Amino acid sequence: MSATAPVLTNLVSRGGQPNLVRIFAKEAKYEFLKSIRLPVFAVSTILLPIMFYVLFGLLLNNKSGDFPITTFLIATYGTFGVMGAALFGFGVGMTVERGQGWLELKRASPMPPYAYFAAKVSTSMIFGAIISLSLLLIGIVFGGVHLAAWQMVKMVSVLVFGCVPFCALGLAIGYFAKPNSAPAMVNLIYLPLSFCSGLWVPVQFLPKTLQHFATYLPPYHLSQLALNVVGIGQGGSQWWHVRALIGATLLFLGIARIGYSRDQGKLYG
């Protein structure tokens, strides 16, 4: 037996499988810390939807009619917020980390690649929770929003888990964009998608063509799911919206897969 054999034997006897829980926990913790310490990310993803809510929901709201605008905007700006957290966290974050060699360094370690992605999804979910809870709190304290406890829990859950399709979209962007162009590319997708999905202006106030177009856009479906929690959705069954979001997730993952294969074509498994 060669002298290198003990090296490998020792390795295998060190404990078989890597401690996946420990790896994931550390990765998720530091992913969150990295993001929250980056003012441009934390401010734009958390403060922007809150600022919009305060501006258009509280300060510029003329309270005409019966439409519960402050409740409506929690769902739509909540959707806007979780979408931003996922797109910037995944799309821009991953592109920059690829460009810096950070991702390559991790790939060269025994860390399972999915721990990296799971940590990014978790971070997006935590940001989604912070955004939706903040909007709810402000709405309740300053906007006269009245929701049952189960409605609050359900709305936050919908928004938090609703970040998944946008994480998939961010992943696809992350594999194709260059570090310098990623923020611009994300904004080019994020802002028009938000407007066309009725997140800033209720979809029924948009031109007919846009109203129809909105039904093809994932943020529309997530916002409708959140609005249905409080009974002010604008049509379509829950299942239709869920299917649309699952379909969008699969489509974005398919695109990401192409980008991944492009990268992996040169890498070992």
Chain residues in the site for other proteins (CB under 8 A): 2-5, 7-8, 11-12, 14-15, 18-19, 22-23, 25-27, 30, 33-34, 37-38, 97, 100-102, 104-111, 265-269
Is 65 or 269 the residue whose CB approaches other proteins more closely? 269
Q: Is the dihedral of CA 66, 69, 71, 72 positive or negative?
A: positive
| Nearest approach, Cβ of residue 132 and other proteins (Å) | 24
* In the block, residue with structure tokens 């966290």: 89
Q: Considering the complex, what minimum distance in angstroms separates the CB of residue 122 from other proteins?
A: 15
Question: How far is Cα of residue 136 from the mean position of the Cα atoms in its chain?
Answer: 18
Q: Which is nearer to other proteins, 46 or 214 (CB)?
A: 46
Gyration radius of the chain's alpha carbons: 21
Nearer to other proteins (CB atom), residue 56 or residue 102: 102
Measured in whole angstroms, the distance separating CA 122 from the mean position of its chain's CA atoms is 9
Nearest distance in Å: CB 250, other proteins: 28
Residues 74, 8: Cα–Cα separation, whole Å = 56
Nearer CB in complex with other proteins: 98/241 = 98
Minimum CB distance to other proteins, residue 90 (Å) = 16
Please give the structure tokens belonging to residue 63. 């309270």
Least distance from C-beta 102 to other proteins, angstroms? 6
Half-sphere exposure (Cβ direction) of 120: Cα atoms closer than 13 Å: 24
Structure token digits, residue 186: 């994300």
CB closer to other proteins, 19 vs 261: 19
Q: Which helix (H) or strand (E) holds 241?
A: helix 238-264
